[in-house]
Amino acid sequence: MTNDILVFAEVREGSFKRINAELVSAASVLVDKLGGVVHIAVLGGAVDGAVEEARSYATGKVYVVKSDVLDSYSTQGFASGLEAVLKECDPAIVLFGATAMGKDLSTRVAARARGSLMTDCTELDVEDGALKAKRPVYSGKAYADVITTKATIKMASLRPNIYPAAQKTGNLADVAEVSLPITLDQIGAMVKEIVVTSAGRKDVTEAEIIVAGGRSLKSEDNFKILEELADVLGASVGASRAAVDAGYAPHSRQVGQTGKVVNPKLYIACGISGAIQHLVGMRTSKVIVAINKDPNAPIFQHANYGIVGDLFEIVPIMTQQFKELLAS
Amino acid sequence: MKIGVLVKNVPDTETKIRLTADKQGIETQGVKYVMNTYDEFAVEEALKIRERLQDGTTVTAITLGPERVVETLRTALAMGADEAIHVDDPAFEGGDSLTNARIIARVVEPMGLDLILGGKQGIDYDAAQTCSALAEALGTAQALIAVELKWSEDNQSLEVRRRIEGGDEIVHVKLPAVISCEKGLNEPRYASLPGIMKAKKKEIKKVDLTGVGLDSAEVGASGSATRVVGYSPLSERPECRILEGEPVEIVKELVRALREDAKVL
């Protein structure tokens, strides 16, 4: 086994996702202690653009598995390709994004390699050859400190928006082509279509700014005032479970337990009281702004800035002022 | 069709998590354990398939854990599952998800299941690994975070709609397969009173270390490649600054503070 780290690069619609550069940044800190280099694995059908992008980040090699079989994502196809890369590259650690794709693939690959896997990590470190991680448990109500205990290959998935995106190295890494050892007929599940549900808007898990609403929005229609604010800020729109259960917003936007965990720079909670189930999903946001009529709402105990007032009055003023600010 | 459903007994979502003084675990006193939220969707979906097919399809609930988890098997039986299997042995203590999935694989392999359903993750350790690791151990297809299942006419394949960032993926899946379930897939039923009474009398099959045919070194803490060394509470958030005054003035100050003090704009 080498002292190197392999980053699995997520490529969607041919483009190299931001999380990949965040993983490189996390990997750089770890390899400094291990004394190895950072390799990147790029798998897919049409991935030439992503490979070029990866070459500007890797301090080791870019391992490429290019095949028509990987045109659409399949767990078995990608796991097989990554397994072939692992044989060539023999890294100590493999990092994935804690995304739908990263989580789908990492477990399959870790199980196959008889390695270790820590999912959804928020901190990573190495000590005496072991990989150490901090990861949220009990839906984000506490953290567990986990270490690897065996010499087998170590894998982890890292939450988005925790590490800054790495700087490009200024060089272009060498490419190593690896052939795919699986054929279409050996794959039992394959993506046949992707339905975009949040056209033009980032998913809440990937957003840097989120404007979120609770049940006090009172209707699906009223969410428009949050949409308007979000448009000005280039933000995503989130919702509390109460708002989703009332039918004001789709479940894909739900933040908190039984929804998504988010980690933006700025979270603007509008008419959200701050039930524990919601707080666990957004508490790690860098800055939280709360707008609520009730001065005793628990959300204020977690916010950096609080406005006690009517969101229907405050939010449009915010939209107006941000618009003026960002236009200037 | 033979369907297996993986269920887990976890602290209720309302639970306030308090760490023990030595930070090695959580205070279990007063904690109410229930069926994992996402597993309810899995049980419901299995029952719906059985009701639709009306062909002798069976639903077997499976769990791994100490004696207390039997209650969750009873819940699955009360909802309508046909059989229940409790996988338990002192040697399994301290096992991580990948290790536990290998144990479950040994239990389900001889059953020849066509479909295995589970929750998208356990709301205790939130690892979200068991379903995928089980699919790998069994060599079957997988589809995770399912919000809709559309079956083919012969019921040998299906289209799974699964949640990804910013949208859904439609995955074509051939059986046998392992599918993990997300909120939105269905509305889980409540157990009926007769169902609860019947579930109390049903036999629960036990499988231990000998039953799974593994060596004690391959299971539990000794068989696992990860170990939890401690827990820590959430970090404190800074005190909230309540902005006061006329709405326009408040917002002006907020915008300034976000830009100049917090530097997030």
Same domain (yes/no): B70, B187: yes
Contact at CB, A321 and B252, closer than 8 angstroms: yes
How much of chain B, in percent, has pLDDT values that exceed 70?
100
Distance CA A25, CA B137 (A): 33
Phi–psi pair at A187, nearest 5 degrees = -105, 125
Higher pLDDT, B182 or B234: B182
Distance CA B103, CA B105 (A): 5
- The stretches of chain A forming alpha helices (DSSP H) are 18-34, 48-55, 75-89, 100-112, 223-233, 241-245, 276-282, 311-327
pLDDT at B166: 87
Find the angle CA(A188)-CA(B6)-CA(A138) to the nearest 5 degrees.
110
Q: If you average pLDDT over residues B62-67, what whole number do you get?
A: 97
Question: By C-alpha distance, which of A8, A22, A9, A17 is closest to A161?
Answer: A22
Alpha-carbon torsion (B25, B27, B29, B33), positive or negative: negative
Tell me the average pLDDT of chain B.
Answer: 96
Query: How many distinct structural domains can be found in chain B?
Result: 2
Position B30 in a domain: yes
Q: If you average pLDDT over residues B194-211, what whole number do you get?
A: 97
Position B228 in a domain: no
Q: Which range marks the domain in which residue B131 is found? A: 2-223
pLDDT at A295: 97
Same domain (yes/no): B18, B137: yes
Distance CA B107, CA B199 (A): 22
Question: By C-alpha distance, which of B11, B3, B175 is closest to B84?
Answer: B3
What is the DSSP track for A3-62? S-EEEEEPEETTEE-HHHHHHHHHHHHHHHHHT--EEEEEEESS-HHHHHHHHTT-SS-E
Same domain (yes/no): B170, B240: no
Contact at CB, B183 and A305, closer than 8 angstroms: no
Is the separation of the CB atoms in A99 and B165 below 8 Å?
Answer: yes
Cβ-based contacts of B141 with chain A (< 8 Å):
75-76, 187-189
Q: If you average pLDDT over residues B186-206, what whole number do you get?
A: 96
Position B51 in a domain: yes
Contact at CB, B241 and A203, closer than 8 angstroms: no
Domains of chain A: 5-186 (3.40.50.620), 209-327 (3.40.50.1220)
Query: Cα A136 vs. chain centroid, distance in angstroms?
Result: 14
Same domain (yes/no): B134, B253: no
- Structure-token pair, residue B46: 């299995």
Is the separation of the CB atoms in A297 and A274 below 8 Å?
Answer: yes
Same domain (yes/no): B40, B83: yes
- Structure-token pair, residue A235: 């933000």
Contact at CB, A142 and B259, closer than 8 angstroms: no
pLDDT at B234: 87
pLDDT at B121: 97
Position B230 in a domain: no
Same domain (yes/no): B188, B263: no
Decide if pLDDT at B176 tops 80.
yes
Cβ-based contacts of A277 with chain B (< 8 Å):
13-14
Site from B185, B219, B226 to mutate, A interface, most A CB atoms within 10 angstroms = B226
Dump pLDDT digits (tens) for B148-160.
Answer: 999 999 999 999 9
Same domain (yes/no): B132, B193: yes
pLDDT at B15: 86
Cβ-based contacts of A79 with chain B (< 8 Å):
136
pLDDT at A200: 74
- Answer left, alpha or beta for residue A73, where phi above 0 means left and psi between -120 and 50 means alpha: beta
Same domain (yes/no): B197, B256: no
Position B200 in a domain: yes
ipTM: 0.94
Q: Cis peptide before B176, with omega less than 30 degrees from 0?
A: yes
Q: For A295, which DSSP code?
A: T
- Which residues does chain A have with pLDDT short of 70? 199
Provide the CATH number for the domain around residue B38: 3.40.50.620
